[in-house]
Amino acid sequence: MLILPAIDILDGKAVRLLRGEYDKKTVYGEPTEFAAQYKRDGATELHVVDLNGARSGRTDNFSVVKDLVQVGLNVEVGGGIRNMETVERYLSCGVKRVILGTAAIKDPDFLASAVKSFGDAIAVGVDTKGGLVATDGWEKVSQTDSFTFCTHLRDIGVKTVVYTDVSTDGTLKGTNMDAFSRLQQIAGLNVIASGGITYPYEIFTLAKKGLFGAILGKALYEGVLTLPTALRAAEGLC
């Protein structure tokens, strides 16, 4: 199972939000410094979210993402990616995987075109509140059931889903393990778990369930969990 340290960017800085609320943020510092440290600690992957872009629909922190790519990790990025031009811009600068969020539910034709054109380089971020898909930087909630939506994504050719339970994100109280048990039953879909992952046993359990990856954010920033410990747990060495 892949371990993906997370760097959420707001106004050029690495931050963490509490339950997706922009007015409840903690600023940690320079994104590239964290990425470099993660690489030294053994990371090969990096999960990046442009929080400004998630709200605006623009690539507000594109220059920061380019700098992160130069660190030498496999970067996946989401936040504000709502047209083919933006997808191509990110992939051209070296991003490995582009994550569509709001656009995936609001513009199915764009999603279908992106998957057809770029295949495995397209993932969908399924952010949920109360089991329903949230959009627009987690500030709006649709009436779409998240598990039904994930099955639909698999059926139209999406290979990878980043699933986040917003209620657990940034809380340091553990993740929604039941949701990931359900998601793993969707055959043919790579599921990356996100939201509140805090403890080595959670990573160990997710890996045993066969999940594709796990995203770690605040637990790393706050020193509750170290990256080497997380990497060992993902290998079954908990």
11 catalytic residue (yes or no): no
Check 8, 50, 60, 169 and give the catalytic one: 8
Which residues 6+ apart lie within 8 Å of 59 measured at CB?
50, 53, 65, 80, 81, 86, 89, 90
| Alpha-carbon gap, residue 210 to 236, rounded angstroms | 11
127 catalytic residue (yes or no): yes
Check 60, 127, 165, 169 and give the catalytic one: 127
Q: What positions carry a catalytic annotation?
A: 8, 127
